[in-house]
Amino acid sequence: MDESLYSVRMHSRRENRHLSGAERLVGPADLETAAAALVLRALEHPRGRAEEIRLAVDLVPPSAIRRGRLLDLRTYRVRNYQQGRRAARRLLLDVGVAEAAVTSAMDWIAQGAAPDGRAMRGAMLIDAESGARLEDDPARGVRASRMDLTATAEAELRARLGEQGLDNPHVREALVLASKVLAVPEVLAELCWSDDPDYTAGYVASRELGYVRFPQLKPLGEERGGRAFFVCGAGLDQAGLIAFLEYAVLLFDRIGTIG
Ligand code: WAQ
Ligand code: MG
Ligand code: MG
Ligand code: MG
């Protein structure tokens, strides 16, 4: 398994704004298929057909590839999104995120964290003590990138998720993303809910809790969603943290427990 991989990344736009983004890490033999699948995805997005699609492909040498294990996943069943948000808040408080920071993150995501009141393209960086937003560009935020599963880990993950009726791209991609984000020691926890109007689920992730998904964290039809990475602010090397999230190549070759 000491061969090079290609990082293939897609982002698309429609009506002059961000529509979707997705990416893979694949061997040379799978590059064409992966690129085609990403293009198709931009054309079939639930919010409409892409009008601009950008694909980027970069060769990653074996020496730049780190390997890792996914977070454990479990589902916390709730009756509605209000109950989901209360439960998510409690878990974040339990792992040491301050009340002010949880409130700040939830309020920003709910009201549309970008300056135009829509969802951001990336995540907010939130000081886990004060709740202050630290990211430089409040429309773009911070993007986690260059992470994926090996073919073997993907097959195992899909089989295990399938047993629970959870084998869909939202779950797989969010679990991979959160597992990279929580590989950073300065990140205490993450909160997310989808910006897709037909997908109400979200999650809280931390190294202690793993990936805890809530089937409802927002009402059906809502287009505002987002992500908050809660960081320990004091002495934070913000540039180093962002460089790791965006550029470090992390390939998950082991899955966690799926319960
Ligand atoms: N890096 C950082 N933030 C991102 C990224 C990224 N690569 N991609 C998306 N975001 C931010 C951005 O603000 C989006 O508006 C927001 O996250 C939501 O993105 O059932 O589908 O792709 O277990 O809509 C979570 C629950 C689903 C899955 C998350 O997110 C489950 C989801 P979406
Ligand atoms: Mg997206
Ligand atoms: Mg996505
Ligand atoms: Mg989305």
Q: Per residue in 52-104, pLDDT tens?
A: 999 999 999 999 999 999 999 999 999 999 999 999 999 999 999 999 999 99
Probe target for ligand 1 pocket from 85, 158, 170, with the most ligand atoms within 8 Å of CB:
170
- pLDDT of 25 > 80? The answer is yes
From 227, 250, 258, mutation site for ligand 1 pocket: most ligand atoms within 8 A of C-beta = 227
Residue 1 in this model has a pLDDT that exceeds 80? no
**Does ligand 1 come within 6 angstroms of the Cβ of 124?**
no
Q: What is the pLDDT of residues 210-236, one digit of tens each?
A: 999 999 999 999 999 999 999 997 889
Q: Is 213 in the pocket of ligand 1 (CB under 6 A)?
A: yes
Side-chain-side CA neighbours of residue 239 (13 Å): 0
**Strand stretches in the chain, DSSP E:** 5-14, 17-26, 52-60, 65-69, 73-75, 124-127, 147-149, 187-193, 202-206, 210-214, 226-231, 249-254
Tokens of 152: 């073997």
Distances from the Cα of 73 to the Cαs of 44, 48, 121, 255, in angstroms? 28, 31, 25, 10
What spatial distance separates the first Cα and last Cα of the chain, rounded to whole Å? Answer: 29
pLDDT at 126 over 70: yes
Cβ of 73 less than 6 Å from ligand 1? no
Domain boundaries defined on the chain:
5-60, 68-254
- What was the pLDDT predicted at 2? 59
Extract the tokens encoding 182.
Answer: 């929580």
For residues 222 and 229, give the distance between their C-alpha atoms in angstroms, rounded to a whole number: 21
* Residue 73 Cα to chain centre, angstroms: 14
